[in-house]
Amino acid sequence: MHTRKLGPLTVSALGLGCMGMSDFYGPRDEAESIATIHRALDLGVNLLDTADMYGPFTNEELVGRAIAGRRGEVILATKCGIVRDPNDPRVRGVNGTPTYIRNSCDASLRRLGVDVIDLYQLHRVDPKTPIEESVGAMADLVKAGKVQAIGLSEASAATLRRGHAVYPLASVQTEYSLWTRDPEDDILSVCRELGIGFLAYSPLGRGFLTGQIKRFEDLAPDDFRRSSPRFQGENFQKNLDLVAKVEALAAEKSVKASQLALAWVLAQGDFIVPIPGTKRRSYLEENIAAEAIALSADDLARLDAVMPRGAAAGPRYAEVSMRLLNA
């Protein structure tokens, strides 16, 4: 596995998103999830990404159990900033106040069972708290030895510049894939300019780009994708038609659509680290194999032709979640 840089951190070119092991994507199997994390480490994947809101809280605990005894092999990334209502976890708000960030970090350290978090990220920007205050609090955690590096998630280009001026940001985490190309508007160029790494979450379009989802009914009753506009009604079929074109190109190269989609993200810049999520070893191994796929200029042009910017039907989140993004 090749490596890439996120600020001071050297990470594997592909990371592992752990969210689905505990929340959002249907049934859970802790034993298989832990085995998947162990297999990732065995294959050279060292970046594990979690957050306190996954579960909530239970995903950090799972990751902590999985890495016990293997801490030295892991670049551990977690996040704070999205607050779920304890009475109804579907209801969410954001908090970026310094007191909240400090308390959240201490709680994450306990759940993860570690002394230091390698990459601590603000999950969403709090519109009521100046980003300078939020980043300043995170910088204090670095100075206190609780965190190695800091990053933001779903932050605008202007917010990135303001935050980076307070303390060097190692990364920004934003959705990026063949069917979500918004970061190409300005985020990627700002990352290049300022030397900020880019963590691409949902690089497989929440599983849609794998070609494994053929019907809305394939989604488990508690799968949050049932509320995603891109998985509903006419949008579902339109997006399915796009994926069929990607599958055809993948077949020409004797690879899977998921692998071609990951190879495309990797090819967009050596500062970009995709973090596909999975809770199964078989899919993990398929994803890792994508790192060895070399795409020619013609390959990239053909992918761009069948899945151009803006081609995906529907917004990437339901309206209530879109309101949490920092535009």
| The amino acid at 301 | A
Catalytic residue among 25, 54, 100, 201: 54
Place of tokens 């570690």: 114
H or E stretch including 175? strand 171-175
Among 154, 188, 191, 190, residue whose Cα is nearest residue 174: 154
The residue length of the chain stands at 327
Annotate 177-241 with DSSP letters as a single string.
Answer: BTTB-GGGTTHHHHHHHHT-EEEEESTTTTTGGGT---SGGGS-TT-GGGG-GGGSHHHHHHHHH
Neighbours of 233 (CB within 10 A): 11
54 annotated active-site: yes
- Among all residues, which ones are annotated catalytic? 54
